[in-house]
Structure 1
Amino acid sequence: MEFRLSAEQELFKRMVREFCEKNIEPRSREMDDKEEGIPDDLIKGLADLGVFGIMIPEKYGGSAPEGEEMTYANIAVQELGRAEMSMALPVYTLLCLGWGFLITKYGTEQLKEEVLPRVAAGEYFTGIATTEPGGGSDIANIQTSGTYKDGKFIVNGEKVYISGVLESIEQRDGGHITLVRTDPEAGHRGFTFIFIPAKLPGISYSTFEDIGRMALSTGSLVYKNVEVPEYYMLGELNRGFYLNMEGFNLARILVSSACVGMTEKALEISRDYVKQRVLFGRPLAKFEGISFEIAQDHAKLEQLKLYLQYTAWAADTLYKEPDFISQRELSRMVSICKMEAPKLGAEITQRCMTHLGAFSYTKDCPLGRGLRGIMSYVVGAEGGYHIQKLIIAREYIGDEAVPYR
């Protein structure tokens, strides 16, 4: 394994950073203040760069570097996290990438031809819908049903805290990979993953008022006798539980990427500020109470960045060499990233705010947007903090550490 990026990867990173610094960063506050969604021209610009096609084969309009999809996605999402610290645009992108990749791997040919070219072009949102009023990470408690009849699934139920509801219905177009119970008697072996376009008849929706990520909607989706053609099924019938684990492995890597990018930018803002802010006749950086905090946070973040890069590489390698590691072993690695990245990011951002003082409490400073955005991933999105601990304990200690067995 190379610890440095290849020449092609470095070029891609520079291209994305230049676009972000020129086009996204100057508009990040406006996006957060107006709460009108992500501007179409930014989505199109990223699509033109090939960002939305990173994990989609050329056959379907993408630009996937075969065998390096997660590595490239990690690069792109980190850069987006740096530029748009509220996390709205990074999250929109990572959902399209991670869950779009699952369609690439397990979708029917008809589904791939219908959806993937539009995802690559930035015209179509793909998200995930698993969480319900009665549970999120407790997958076995999911109640939304998908009854198979005459070549269709009849879906009934409700999903909550779903990202991209307005984006897939009002602002653009899209849908969600949805976990439904297709065999009520089979426990965790009775779930199926179905892609459900959000504009199908029988779907109603509402939105929540979030405290962060203001340019990306979160809401609920209610399905009442929604007829979903069979070709929208991913993988095999009643294998959704396993695809769910695989999909969250991919998404959690990229969530960690967004958090790392945002935190890196927060630390740079603090670093640059303490070098020029003079107090008691000398720069703040001269005070060890400040400089040592920044040094320690930099060290922690660098360690996490390296492990995240390794985890993205491991995911790529697993798809090339299926015997490399198991999905469960990858889950352990991914959960280490997902457990640490949001929590460390929130802690570092708060410390950075204390370095900047009163200015950090104004909307002119992006640190507040960053803290509000990253907290969504501390408290639960894509799997809560304590769930990651449970996964790590299960895979490292064994079944003796599993409370539900």
Structure 2
Amino acid sequence: MLDYTFTEEQELLRTTVREFCNREIKPRIKEMIKNRRIPSEIIKGMGELGILGMTIPEKYGGPGYDAVTVGIVAEEIGRSDPTVSIPVFFLVDNAWSYLISKYGSEKLKNEYLPDVAKGRKIIGIASTEPNFGSDVASMTTVAKKNSRGYVVNGEKSYISLVRDIKEMGGGYVTVTKTAPEKPGTSGTSLIFLPYSQEHFDITYLEEMGREGSSWGAFRIKDYEVPEHYLIGKENEGFKIIHEGFEFARALISVISAGTALESINRGIDYMKQRVAFGKSLTKFQGLQFQVADNVAKMETALDMGYRALWVYEQEQKYHKFTRFQVSKEIAKAKLLSTTWGFDAVNDALQWQGAFGYSTDCPEEYSLRGIRSFQLAEGSREIMKQIIARESIGKEFI
């Protein structure tokens, strides 16, 4: 029989994080939107609470939590920030610091992970380029090896946390070609690139939503980094990059579900207060059925997200599932949570009439924020391809 209960420690952590969110995040959403940045006090508080770099082992100053526990925190932050700006900061930092903690050299881990665990530095991901997103084989960024390490040249675009990493320090798990003569994704490596004012030429981009998050592009020119900044083995980056993407996708699943469930709750509260044609909006069966559909979908999506995180953890630590099984579980969760989540927020906005269309309504910016998750860390179309490949069989596609 399956046990879906959380441990006492996990429930205690959830309560602690929820109190932090209610105290520090929710009252400052409007400030964050106005200033278009996450207040530094929130990031500092998250670091003090130990919820940045949550999977970092105790050896490097972190708490060493499992993926499901990280998901609990992600859900609570998703519920507290309708713009999903802080959830983006959280999931990027946690997913990619995990990859360094698993595959990074001892020297790299000792250099960066203790500061990441305390929220003093940030780890990001630099994969997308102007001419490709999911098609890694089309990458043009190249790292040439020399006697001291690697010299990196290239361009990355639509990268999260560019301002945050510039201001706070840290760097990027960067996808690059180390053997460009090899076909397809072979010859791809992961190299950590610390932010350097000398070697990063940054352009800031403005997002449709996620007002507190920073987003941009940068060119890297003749950036020489030591050999111990290689993550995993040379020319085998494609094999491990998806472990980071899959962790991020699973976190997006629970964030999207949590965000949408909060929108549903706000929509219900509005309907309880609003009277039309002499009766409360909650008396109209059409709206009741919309509530029922959305609650059923989003609670299912939340369960799928936690299952995806559990499967991921079981494969990472105990090899109980294959990589392809993990990919399918996570793709299902991300596809449905982001698709259903957008629809649920849109319905909650509709229930609130003209107010829903105003910038005073959280659903107005939640709708734009959650829409980003249908693209981030793998589009809906890529999720469908993964599910189809594992359902039909790769040899038949």
TM over 0.5: yes
Q: 1:341 matched to which residue of 2? A: 337
Q: 2:23 matched to which residue of 1? A: 22
Contact 2:258 2:302 in 1 (8 A): no
- Please tell me whether residue 387 in structure 1 is matched to residue 379 in structure 2: no
- Please tell me whether residue 233 in structure 1 is matched to residue 230 in structure 2: yes
Give the drift of 1:26: 1.0
Q: For residues 315 and 116 of structure 1, what CA distance do their matches in structure 2 show?
A: 22
Q: For residues 195 and 240 of structure 2, what CA distance do their matches in structure 1 show?
A: 21
Change (3 A) 1:119 1:192: same
Q: SS of 1:369's equivalent? A: helix
Where does the alignment leave 5 or more consecutive residues of structure 1 unmatched?
none
Give the drift of 1:277: 1.5
Letter in 1 for 2:128: T
Letter in 1 for 2:68: T
Change (3 A) 1:401 1:89: farther
Q: For residues 178 and 162 of structure 1, what CA distance do their matches in structure 2 show?
A: 11
Q: SS of 2:340's equivalent? A: helix
Q: For residues 254 and 33 of structure 1, what CA distance do their matches in structure 2 show?
A: 27
Q: For residues 144 and 53 of structure 1, what CA distance do their matches in structure 2 show?
A: 27
Q: CA-to-partner distance for each residue in 1:81-116, whole Å, 9 max, x for gaps? A: 111110111100111101110000000111111111
Q: For residues 75 and 4 of structure 1, what CA distance do their matches in structure 2 show?
A: 12
Give the drift of 1:59: 1.2
Where does the alignment leave 5 or more consecutive residues of structure 2 unmatched?
none
Give the drift of 1:259: 1.0
Q: For residues 257 and 151 of structure 2, what CA distance do their matches in structure 1 show?
A: 40
Give the drift of 1:400: 4.5
Change (3 A) 1:74 1:152: same
Contact 2:124 2:173 in 1 (8 A): yes
Q: For residues 389 and 311 of structure 2, what CA distance do their matches in structure 1 show?
A: 20
Q: SS of 2:15's equivalent? A: helix
Contact 1:29 1:366 in 2 (8 A): no
Letter in 2 for 1:336: K
Structure 1 residue corresponding to 2:208, chosen from 211, 219, 224: 211
Q: For residues 257 and 116 of structure 1, what CA distance do their matches in structure 2 show?
A: 25
Q: For residues 255 and 296 of structure 1, what CA distance do their matches in structure 2 show?
A: 21
Contact 1:311 1:333 in 2 (8 A): yes
Q: 2:161 matched to which residue of 1? A: 164
* Residues 241-280 of structure 1 aligned to structure 2 (within 5 Å): 241-280=238-277
Q: 1:358 matched to which residue of 2? A: 354
Q: For residues 211 and 307 of structure 1, what CA distance do their matches in structure 2 show?
A: 28
Q: 2:13 matched to which residue of 1? A: 12
Percent of aligned positions that are identical? 38
Q: CA-to-partner distance for each residue in 1:129-160, whole Å, 9 max, x for gaps? A: 11111111001111100100112111111010
Structure 1 residue corresponding to 2:118, chosen from 99, 114, 121: 121
- Please tell me whether residue 144 in structure 1 is matched to residue 141 in structure 2: yes
Q: For residues 315 and 381 of structure 1, what CA distance do their matches in structure 2 show?
A: 19
Q: For residues 291 and 396 of structure 2, what CA distance do their matches in structure 1 show?
A: 36
Letter in 1 for 2:377: E
* TM-score, reference length from structure 1: 0.95
Q: For residues 231 and 165 of structure 2, what CA distance do their matches in structure 1 show?
A: 19
Q: 1:49 matched to which residue of 2? A: 49
Letter in 1 for 2:54: I
Q: CA-to-partner distance for each residue in 1:295-316, whole Å, 9 max, x for gaps? A: 1110011111111111111111
